[in-house]
Amino acid sequence: MTDVMCNRFEGQVVLITGASRGIGAAIARRFAAEGADVAVGYHQSKEAAEAVVAEVEAMGRKAVAIQADLTDRKGAKTLFEGFHAAFDRLDVLVPAAGHAEIKPLEEMDVETWQRSFAIHLDAVLETCKAAYPLLQESKGRIVMLSTVGAHAAFTGFAAVGAAKAGLESLLQYMASEWIKNGVRCNAVSCGTVDTGILERWAIGPQVREFVQSKTVGLGVAKPEDVSPIVAFLAAEESRYIVGFTLVADGGMTLGIDFEEWVHAAYGKDAKL
Amino acid sequence: MKHPPPENPGDLTGKVALVTGGTRGIGLEISERLAKRGADLILVFKKDVENAKAAEARLAPIGRRIQLIQADLRKPEGVDSVFEQVATGLDQIDILVLNAAFGTMGEVHRMGRASWRASYDTNVLSPMLTAKGALPWLKQNGGVITATSTLGAHTAYPTYVAIGSSKAAMEALVRFMSFEWAKYGIRANSVAAGPVDTRAIDWFRYPEAVRIFTAKKGLAGRMGMPHDIADIAVWLCTDESRWIYGQSIIAEAGILLGVDYEEWSPNTGADASEGGAA
């Protein structure tokens, strides 16, 4: 038997917001597979959240679904009332709730802009603050989710990108202030992930084509490509990493590949 | 390959890892963890045969194959000899850990040309030549390259310019390797470590100051240990990190994360009265 990573969270409790679908659901499954009990935060997708709970229970772990609208000022309070009703400790918080509305800046309205900051920044701050007392007791960890859209511009993505850039800054402050009490905070900054969101965007097909064909990387990630990274940042192995945003984009933003332009300029047979 | 069975994540059974500088310090901790995950080892060392034998003896009980190779990787003929011996030895490389490092301590105004060149030869030229030499094997099954770097590549410490700047160049090299070799399924990443208690700390003019500073500032109330960095480096060698390309993970326990004004309060005594200069 080799020294593998398979039960690093035995006896621990993990709270994931936005866990009914997509990346959040994959994270819930991964922690459960490694022995954790899981609180599944969700906003609207009750059935999907209950399905995740059922999957976690099938792995022999405890799970509860907790409904809360985190864009509401009382959302975090609601979430933690539900949490305290089921669990008396918290080891890992993953504030994964989010959504992305695509809109070019000239069409940007205050409501869209504020919705993005409300969920990606304000809600994360409030959720983390509400979790902080429990996390101090357990010497817990927070793993936030960001996007490479915080570091580079993808047309129409400004509301999310700017809010997540704010989140990455919040991370540094939180990590710096809270590490003194033993709470370790980090983030994963994702490239494009197949969460069903591409199907909901008008420009989804173009985004997929760009990521698959025009970057040097692996293309669009599956949620299961992201969840091991979140687990790593919550595990003892990463004990020396604090306040860091780890880019995980399959190489999507590594650099600029000229191949297409070489072909445009010199014909299909030209080689770099 | 992209989606390994979740019951066995991080397993490296059947893989072969070549680790430069793999017989002491962070490199030895990395080698041990790779072997415990199931990888066979090719350990490259420069001079100290006795130490290399001791490392081999420490790793032997894990039960993996170990090939020791002595070579000076700063010289093209040294690199060539490594891969000649790989070809006649384990003849497989899935994981390349670029860990061998060297640096001359000193400020810019004291830096001599030979010292500068020696740091860049070990920290930049040698990783380039070594990765190039390992490429034919790495290409075969979509290999992974992990380099150990330093926080000094991202910030500045006293007398650290030759190491910090050359490691910054190495991290750029890693990014370019990742960019160019992604098409072969090869991933390349770095770990930039804060001060770690290895013999390299004694290269500093005031090693005790570094020890006290990092223990006071860091998360654990202690200086970083080789295993803190090795755990990260090894994770980067597993499929668990399959979506991470061309990155450098900064691992410094929050030492330089923020400025804490509390300790600079004018009322707290001697520290504060001289604090303005720091």
| DSSP-derived secondary structure for B189-218 | EEEEE--BSSGGGGGSSSHHHHHHHHHHHS
- Rg of chain A taking only CA atoms, in angstroms: 19
Percent of chain A scored above 90 by pLDDT? 78
CA separation for the pair A272, A255 (Å, rounded): 15
Confidence of residue A255 (pLDDT cuts 50, 70, 90): confident
Residues B29 and A98: their CA atoms lie apart, in Å, by 39
Q: What is the pLDDT of residue B276?
A: 37
**Which CATH number belongs to the domain containing residue B150 in this structure?**
3.40.50.720
So where are chain A's domains?
A: 13-250
Closest-CA distance, B79 to chain A, in angstroms, reads: 27
pLDDT tens for chain B, 278 residues long, are 333 445 678 999 999 999 999 999 999 999 999 999 999 999 999 999 999 999 999 999 999 999 999 999 999 999 999 999 999 999 999 999 999 998 889 999 999 999 999 999 999 999 999 999 999 999 998 999 999 999 999 999 889 999 999 999 999 999 999 999 999 999 999 999 998 988 888 888 888 888 888 887 766 678 899 999 999 999 999 999 999 999 999 999 988 777 767 666 665 544 444 433 33
Kindly state whether B231 is in contact with chain A, defined as any CB-CB distance less than 8 angstroms.
yes
Task: Give the per-residue pLDDT at B20.
Answer: 98
- pLDDT value at residue A199: 86
Q: Domain for residue B128, yes or no?
A: yes
Task: Give the minimum alpha-carbon distance from A110 to chain B in angstroms, rounded to a whole number.
Answer: 33
Helix (H, G, I), strand (E, B), or coil: what is residue B225? coil
Instruction: Tell me if B196 is assigned to some domain.
Output: yes
The answer to whether the predicted template modeling score (pTM) of the entire model surpasses 0.90 is yes
pLDDT tens profile A172-182:
999 999 998 99
Q: Rounded distance, CA B271 to CA B278, Å?
A: 10
Higher pLDDT, B257 or A96: A96
Among the residue ranges A35-49, A104-118, A228-242, B197-211, the one predicted with the least confidence is B197-211
CA A10 to chain centre: 22
Which 3 state secondary structure label does DSSP give B24? coil
- Of residues A9, A100, A96, the one with CA closest to residue A52: A96
Q: Give the contacts of B127 (CB within 8 A, at least 6 positions apart).
A: B20, B98, B147, B170, B173, B174
3-state secondary structure of B246: coil
User: What is the predicted pLDDT for the residue at B199?
Assistant: 83
The answer to whether A251 contacts B12, with C-beta atoms less than 8 Å apart, is no
- Closest in B37, B220, B251 to A2, CB measured: B37
pLDDT reported for residue B110: 94
Tell me which residue has tokens 């907790």.
A66
According to the CATH classification, is domain A13-250 in 3.40.50.970? Answer: no
pLDDT in tens, A99-134: 889 899 999 999 999 999 999 999 999 999 999 999
SS3 (DSSP) at B102: coil
- The pLDDT of residue B80: 97
User: Of B253 and A141, which is predicted with more confidence?
Assistant: A141
Asked if the structure places residue B141 within a domain, the reply is: yes
B231: phi then psi, degrees, rounded to nearest 5: -60, -40
Q: Is residue B9 part of a domain?
A: no
CA atoms within 13 A on the CB side of A164: 28
Examine residue B3 and state whether it is found in any structural domain, yes or no: no
B254: closest chain A residue by CA: A242
Residue B263 has what pLDDT?
66
How much is the pLDDT for B6? 52
Neighboring chain A residues of B1 at a CB cutoff of 8 Å? none
Measured between alpha carbons, how far is A238 from A184 in angstroms, rounded to an integer?
10
Higher pLDDT pick, A38 / B218: A38
Picking from A5, A239, A254, the nearest residue to B179 by CB comes out as A254
* Per-residue model confidence (pLDDT) at position A2: 59
A-B Cβ pairs (cutoff 8 Å, strict): 140
Q: How high is the pLDDT of residue B229? A: 97
B-chain residue closest to A180, CA distance: B219
B8 domain-assigned: no
Q: Is the pLDDT of residue A91 over 60?
A: yes
Question: Does the distance separating the beta carbons of B9 and A4 come in below 8 Å?
Answer: yes
In a domain, B106, yes or no: yes
Domain contains B2: no
What are the CA-CA distances from residue A267 to residues A237, A260, A270, A271, B183 (Å)? 49, 10, 6, 9, 21
**Domain count along chain B:** 1
Q: Which domain holds residue B236?
A: 16-277
Strands B248-251, B187-193: pairing is parallel
